[in-house]
Amino acid sequence: MNADYILQKFHITEAEFENELRGMYSTSFFHIYTSGEYLEDLNQLSVKDRGTFIHEYIHYWQNIGTLWGLGNSILFYNEIRHIVNEIRRSEEIKLPLNISFPEKYAKERLKYEIGNGTNKDEIFKSKSIDLSKHMAISFVDKPIGTGSIPAVYIKVYFTDGNAVDISLGAHIIKESMAALYQSLIDPETPHDDIPYNLVRLLCKKNYPDLADNIQLLICACYASLFSMRPGETLLQLLAFATKEKISNGIDLLSYHISNSTVMTSKHNNSISITECFDEMVDCFLQNLRDNLMSPLDYIEEAMNRVRISTGWLPLITVLNEDIRNMNDNLNHIIGYMGIPYIQAKNGIYHASTVQKKLNEVSVDVLELNAQEAVFLYLMGKTPFRCCPLYYMCQGGEFEKAECFDAPWEGNECSFTIAGHFLKEKKIFWE
């Protein structure tokens, strides 16, 4: 089976096929997908492509450099490990997988789902918020285990007359933060109001003194991601900044990091955000050492550089610099923080390296991304039963008939190596 067979089977054009595959690409833990071009020197990119890349790089940083992002990623890879162990105990595997997770994982996943908030962006595409209407804020307790978590809801009215209650959580905060940062590079790029403009528009209605302070809004969004209740924390930070007349976002962030604590089951009490994040980084690195065949290279270096205990947050610090030097500053910062695996819209991809091995690819990142691809495939989250790594092999020597329906079979490739635990299993689609 190959791509031509898929075109005939589903009666679609090659362009429709490519668009559908592209739809499954997104920035994840150590993988950046940019819908524009990519060059290592950002100054050589168009303003539009430069802004697009920075938007996705901010997401990459949110994933590895915040309590919310790193905690979510740790849970994700714990789920992968659980699935691998279940598969190893089974002789027969039905796809897509329908595996029950232990209660501790299920409870943790529910906590992240509640805190993530509204994330169905497509239903709000091209809808404009009516700023003549009040944006009321309410809290609803969501049950989880024997307790509950407050979810933040915002009543939003659209210019078409419709209204909806939006759950303000990590998803909207992350997208708003990335769009705000992108606007510093490319202020002309349009964004849908939900999720990209919601934080700024909420401020226009409820915190008007902050609405035009892009630097402060970026810092408030970032600070809220060091909480397991990001929506509630963001509102508290915006209210605090308004009351105390704080105009410098870095001051607001520093106050939050210095004066907030996190309750952990490990300590059975509250510890500082800095201590909690360092412990989380250590835990994640040890988990990867135990589960990856490759020695840690880029991943360990990158994780050590985003520790807030270093006292330096370059992508935040640069916000206090002259905006005219933004491109050069970002080049230096990204050079320091590192480039993970990058996949560009034009089919080009760039593997990560670190300073100590400038001419060598960091295999740990490739293996981690391949593990994620195997997980997504087994859970039935890719179109046409297509290997998520197909873009790497399409039209090349590694493309094979098994890329569709059975990528664990055929000639050795990234999928077969990462999915080695599937060998000698009876696998079929339901």
- The predicted pLDDT at position 193 comes to 98
Phi, psi of 394 (to 5 degrees): -55, 125
- The predicted pLDDT at position 263 comes to 81
- For the chain, the domains span 3-11+364-429, 36-334
Q: Report, as an integer, the average pLDDT of 50-63.
A: 92
Q: Give the percent of the chain with pLDDT over 70.
A: 90
- The predicted pLDDT at position 311 comes to 87
Task: Look at 408 and 23; give whichever has higher pLDDT.
Answer: 408
Q: Report, as an integer, the average pLDDT of 76-95.
A: 92
- The predicted pLDDT at position 25 comes to 46
Q: What is the pLDDT of residues 159-202, one digit of tens each?
A: 999 999 999 999 999 999 999 999 999 999 999 999 999 999 99
- The predicted pLDDT at position 125 comes to 93
For residues 216 and 180, is the Cβ–Cβ distance under 8 A?
no
> Lowest-confidence range among 84-93, 259-268, 343-352?
343-352
In whole angstroms, what is the distance from residue 230 CA to residue 151 CA?
9
Return all residues near 417 (Cβ < 8 A) that are at least 6 apart: 367, 370
Q: Report, as an integer, the average pLDDT of 303-326.
A: 88
- The predicted pLDDT at position 337 comes to 83
Please give the helix or strand (H or E) that residue 164 lies within, else none: strand 163-168
Q: Which two tokens stand for residue 65?
A: 């450099």
- Is the pTM above the cut of 0.75? yes
In the three-class reduction of DSSP (H, G, I as helix; E, B as strand; rest coil), residue 380 is classed as coil
Task: Look at 114 and 361; give whichever has higher pLDDT.
Answer: 114
Q: What is the pLDDT of residues 377-417, one digit of tens each?
A: 999 988 888 898 887 787 788 889 898 889 999 999 989 99
Q: State yes or no: pLDDT of 24 exceeds 50.
A: no
- The predicted pLDDT at position 354 comes to 57
20: confidence class by pLDDT, cuts 50, 70, 90: low
- Cα atoms found within 13 Å of the Cα of residue 187, Cβ hemisphere only: 4
Q: State yes or no: pLDDT of 330 exceeds 50.
A: yes
Strand locations in 7-53 (E)? 31-34
23: confidence class by pLDDT, cuts 50, 70, 90: very low
Q: What is the pLDDT of residues 148-165, one digit of tens each?
A: 999 999 999 999 999 999
For residues 52 and 36, is the Cβ–Cβ distance under 8 A?
yes
360: confidence class by pLDDT, cuts 50, 70, 90: low
Mean pLDDT of the chain: 88
Return all residues near 356 (Cβ < 8 A) that are at least 6 apart: none
Strand locations in 222-334 (E)? 261-264, 269-272
The bridge status of strand 147-157 relative to strand 137-144 is antiparallel
- The predicted pLDDT at position 19 comes to 59
